[in-house]
Amino acid sequence: MVRALRPLSAARCGLVGPFAACILACVLVLLASACGSSGVDDRGDADGLSTGADQSTSIEGDGMDARPDDTPSGNDSQSDAATADDVDAVSVDSQVEVDATFDVDVVAGPPQFMYDPLAGERLETFPDDYYTVDDETSLTGLRVKLDSSSAPWFASLPTSLVPAFDDANLLDGFGTTAGIILRFTQPIGEVPSGDPASLTNDVVMLFELGGAAPRRIPFEVKRLDQGATLVLLPMLPLRPKARHGVVVTRALLGLDQQPVEPSPVLTALLTGTASDPRLVRLQPRYSELLAAASLTPSQVSAAVVFTTQSIVDRSVAIAQDIKSRSFVWKDAPVCEEMTTYRRCEGRFLAGDYRNDGVIDGVSPHETYLLPVTIYLPPKSDGGPWPVVFFAHGITGDRHQAELLIPKTGNLTTAMVSIDAVAHGDHPAGAGSDSFSILAMFFEIDLATRVFRPAKLRDNFRQSTYDKLQTLALIGDNLDVDGDAKPDLDLTKLGYFGVSLGAIMGSELLALSDRFVAAVLSVGGGRIISIISDGTSFKLITNLVTPPGWTADDLKRSYPLAQTVVDPGDGANYAPYVLGERLAVGGNLKPNVLCIMALGDSVVPNVATSMLVRAMGLPLLPTVFLDPGLLPTVDSLPLSGNLEEGTLTAGFFQYDRYSTIPGGEPKPAGHQEIHLGVEFPLQSLHFFESLLETGTAEIIDPYSVLGTPPLP
């Protein structure tokens, strides 16, 4: 049974103040990670959540079954996951993925790097500037070209995958968070992985090129094809619109301890002896890579050079376009008096920047009437009120914000919420049940099983643009109830994103200059890893897997999908939240609290780790899983740890929860963490301390509430 947090629990700790009503039911909000519910079973099911005023106070997680038997083990594809009973610190680079299938033809002799794009028998290495053409109109000077003219293997692609390659051909470069695939004729030996090994070894090196000086980039390694294929996963987003290169030295050995040999085509590129024009144009880039690594051609066994695409440019231009526009209510809000709050429903004309589902410019192609729900305290309580912008989880809707409203006492802050694309009453269309919502949002045609990653990417981006337009609307219309008095105080604006809402949060925070605080609950970055590494989306992968494909065939396709999705991926906007701000986002940096559940099978720990590394969030105690590359904090509570004491930010990990203070602990998962008393208390105090003192504070809820460790 899902139970709301009792106000008394927090009050006894001396942490509840006037902001409590906004977050006190966070337990349930976080269950909005549940995105769909009418049940009371802790596991939940895929039922959607009704949108009536008398919603249940219990929802299940993200429209998914988070079954205990689905928790990833050390042998599953989640390379840095920890089981809920593994409370010792682990390193994210300690595991590799090995699949039982192996479709590479093993050849006699020493292992060799498989690289011959001219022959075009298969896609052996990706990404690769070989699959580009010059394009003076693009921001990188290049355009991806993956078709039968550059890749003979393209003709044998399953027809269901052709649209995904068509999407890739619209890009001006390759992925910034996507994996890098290197294939060999035989299984190979140990490869350094993670932080610091990937930065200090002389075996495999990933470089950013083209700047004042080359820079090494940390990466993690996965293996496919019984160890004959390497997938290098950048631990941080690569710099957009920049050349990058991977170089492997002859220190890399096969299982027989023989050095890996380069292919003849690679040797020609490295020595400058290639004659085919398609290779000749690449030779200077390989010379640059050799210089960056201080290597000679004879020292190299494998290499590839690629250029990353533009990432934030279009979203920045669209955010500027939204700033230049004025918004008014088409249907003015009508407020309904509830017992402890008012619910106001209105609609306005919002711009849809997509053209047949894909964004191709910086102006709207059409408009639609977007519903907005605003929750206000009772009229007698005065105002204007601080505002929380609530963002629901997958298969949820805007009315799940009601789960923030306490069952006792009045609401003391305003809340604003809209539906994400393909959810709730979104005018661009929405599914009628959890499965159809998933298929529509992830852009999978159930009849043809065609997956369109460009449309998935732009479902994320359009959802952010909807939020930006909603913020502009309420900023120009602070009076919600029509009494000619302002109801909203946008100088005290917070963001509360759950699961899908947390995944989308960093793009909004990077593009907006309005937010002073944000809570990101069980979100992540590198979106495709949520499908590839999580256990709750197996139905999605089953739908899009072509007949006859092995598990490794599918896994080798993930970098292409992530490449297309990257401009809509929150990890690529995360560096601009607390780091150097985008011009359109102004100089206001928000206080940030990000949380992860150690046993999360919906948004796997690899995804959350990618997001927090990209944002540079300090790692708070206790550390159960080290994402790598993050500064650490020795103790809690924490306040004013950034920006000369004016900003608070951190990443907290939950391995357990309890339903009453000091109660029996249970393993924390994607939904389960939201059933407890710990995270609601922590989130409440984070927001409230900012409003009361001007500086947000992060507490250790386990210490405050006396939660015992897991047995």
Question: SS3 letters for 560-619?
Answer: HHHHHHHHHCHHHCCHHHHCCCCHHHCCCCCEEEEEEECCCCCCCHHHHHHHHHHHCCCE
Using 50, 70 and 90 to split pLDDT, how confident is the model at 106? low
- The token duo for 385 is 């009120």
Using the predicted structure, report yes or no on whether residue 47 has a pLDDT greater than 60.
no
Rounded CA separation 368/380 (Å): 34
Q: What is the pLDDT of residue 407?
A: 67
- The token duo for 329 is 């209510």
Using the predicted structure, report yes or no on whether residue 396 has a pLDDT greater than 70.
yes
Rounded CA separation 29/248 (Å): 47
Using 50, 70 and 90 to split pLDDT, how confident is the model at 675? confident
Higher pLDDT, 411 or 91: 411
Per-residue pLDDT tens for 592-610? 999 999 999 999 999 999 9
> Taking the CB of residue 583, how many other CB atoms lie within 10 A of it?
10
Using the predicted structure, report yes or no on whether residue 82 has a pLDDT greater than 60.
no
Rounded CA separation 67/148 (Å): 44
Higher pLDDT, 398 or 120: 398
Per-residue pLDDT tens for 10-38? 333 333 333 333 333 333 333 333 333 33
Per-residue pLDDT tens for 428-466? 887 778 889 999 999 999 889 999 999 999 999 999 999
Using 50, 70 and 90 to split pLDDT, how confident is the model at 50? very low
Q: What is the pLDDT of residue 336?
A: 97
Q: For the chain, how many helices (H) and strands (E)?
A: 19, 26
578, 594 Cβ separation under 8 angstroms: no
Q: What is the pLDDT of residue 432?
A: 79
Using 50, 70 and 90 to split pLDDT, how confident is the model at 107? low
Using the predicted structure, report yes or no on whether residue 9 has a pLDDT greater than 80.
no
Mean pLDDT along residues 361-369: 98
Using 50, 70 and 90 to split pLDDT, how confident is the model at 479? very high
End-to-end CA distance of the chain: 22
Quick check: helix, strand or coil at residue 23? helix
State pTM to two decimals.
Answer: 0.87
Q: Tell me the H-state helices in 395-537.
A: 434-441, 453-476, 500-511, 527-532
What's the whole-number average pLDDT of the chain? Answer: 87
- Provide, rounded to the nearest whole percent, the portion of the chain with pLDDT above 90: 76
Domains and CATH numbers, the chain: 129-307 (2.60.40.1220)
Quick check: helix, strand or coil at residue 402? helix
Rounded CA separation 58/4 (Å): 8
Q: What is the pLDDT of residue 62?
A: 45
Higher pLDDT, 109 or 319: 319
